[in-house]
Amino acid sequence: MSVTSQTRPPAAPAPAGAPGPRGRVATVLAPLADRWRVVKRSLERPLTSYYLILGGTSMLLAIGLMMVLSASSVYSFKVHDSSYYIVLKQLTWVAIGLPAAWVASRIDRRWLRRLAWPAVGVAVVLLALTQTSLGFAVNGNRNWLALGPLTVQPSEIAKLSVVLWAADVYARKERLLGNPVQALVPVAPVVVMISGLVVFQHDLGTALVLFAILLGMLWVVGVPARLFGIALSVVGVAAFYLAASNAERRTRLTSFIDPFADFQGAGWQAGHGLLGMASGGLLGKGLSASQQKWGSLPEAHTDFIFAVLGEELGLVGTLLVLALFGAVAYAMIRLAINTADPFVRYASAGICIWLMSQTLINIGMVLALLPVIGIPLPLVSYGGSALVPSLVALGLLVGFARDEPEARAALRARRRDRAPRDDDGTTPRSGVPAVLAGGLRSRRRGTERGRA
């Protein structure tokens, strides 16, 4: 039996003008490349940091008020006989924080640096007063202070004070920071002392944020990797020891890995947080439709508000919040890199480290990636003691971004463009609007012709 060799017929030639595979890919990617170039040019504009911080903060604050109203309505009605009690208190803090942020954006930089030193002293005094009769405990943490009708959490004030004070110290020692001892002293001993006062209040979460600020600032000023690694190891060992030395913290440390193993006990809060996030799906159940806020999820409007947000707004809502935090972080880093003022550089970096580390810890806690240690989500969670210092810090960054030379020139040019102009293109000297000025000129010309 003979085997007949078979050959494939030659492939038909491609029609003239038809793009090949590479051409089709290039055709698809071309619009994306054009859009990316537009976005890149927009991000390189002088006022990018200014608008990103201002816009991102405003949107996060609006989302936070909306979620506080939704997450606290059941608890507020149960405890205070009004579904709006807690959100009205939050609105009061917003009414205090926004003017404070505006003042912070306008304050002279020299006065700000002078105020940073007494601010650290005031924070230390307030932290010490929590151990007196003026202090009281909430959820086992004696970190609250009653000053007449006002209750404050001094550790939140300490975060802003530490950042501004450390920025001023490093700005003064700019030329000496090549020496590791100059970079460590006096910032490291003071921050460790303040963190010790916070740990003495049994507030491990805030102490971790303060340690993160210290390590981040040391990295920014260029401490050698060897010393930075030693400091990171010491902080890690100290945090693990503090967590393991307390029975409640030890239970939280072991239960977050699998909250459902002890769902009715130590894993209750973390487990219900995961259930809320998982049940939201892509678009969520809708505003005010959360089931976990009906008593199953403790601290729904404070530490675990991100779980309620994920349940009601779904994956889209959580990604929007993450994108807003990312935009604000990008603006802060951009400001720290581009500025020529060392104080602005270190203050911007310190505020970025503070707010973003707190955000990561809170979200990691809700997602059961970290133990439950009681850290609020900046600008979103309920609480005036955390909200007002955060708004003041962001107000400072808005002022820093607006005072950059290129940004200031861009703002002046924009004001000139918006100013009314005469027929010859010059700005009128009088304060009369251009439309009225034109009417007055035509009436004056008619009067002069009548007289002639």
Indicate if the pLDDT at residue 106 is higher than 80. Answer: yes
- Helix then strand then coil, in percent of the chain rounded to 5, is 70, 5, 30
Distance of alpha carbon 376 from alpha carbon 385, whole angstroms: 11
Average pLDDT, the chain: 85
Which of these, 196, 122, 219, lies nearest to 164 by C-alpha position? Answer: 122
> For residues 418 and 99, which has the higher predicted lDDT (pLDDT)?
99
Q: What is the pLDDT of residue 251?
A: 74
Q: Is the dihedral of CA 433, 435, 438, 443 positive or negative?
A: negative
Q: What is the pLDDT of residue 15?
A: 55
* 137-146 burial: b if 16+ Cβ within 10 Å, else e: eeeebebbbe
Residue 412 vs residues 8, 311, 395, 409: alpha-carbon distances, Å? 73, 45, 20, 5
Residues 104 and 396: beta-carbon distance below 8 Å: yes
DSSP string, 248-292: HHHHHHHHSSSGGGGTTTTTHHHHHHHHHHHHTTTT-S-TT--ST
Peptide bond between residue 186 and the one before it cis (omega within 30 degrees of 0): yes
Indicate if the pLDDT at residue 308 is higher than 50. Answer: yes
- Residue 296 tokens read as 């199953």
> For residues 408 and 325, which has the higher predicted lDDT (pLDDT)?
325
401 φ, ψ to 5°? -65, -35
Q: What is the pLDDT of residue 227?
A: 80
* In the chain, % of residues over pLDDT 70: 84
pLDDT digit string (tens) for 49-64? 999 999 999 999 999 9
Cβ partners under 8 Å of residue 290, min gap 6: 70, 71, 276, 300, 308, 311, 312
Distance of alpha carbon 81 from alpha carbon 440, whole angstroms: 62
Average pLDDT over residues 64-84: 95
Average pLDDT over residues 162-180: 94
Residues 259 and 275: beta-carbon distance below 8 Å: no
pLDDT digit string (tens) for 400-415? 999 988 888 888 887 7
Going through 50-93 in order, the beta strands assigned E by DSSP cover none
Average pLDDT over residues 171-189: 92
pLDDT digit string (tens) for 211-246? 999 999 999 998 888 887 887 788 778 877 777 777
- Residue 271 tokens read as 């487990």
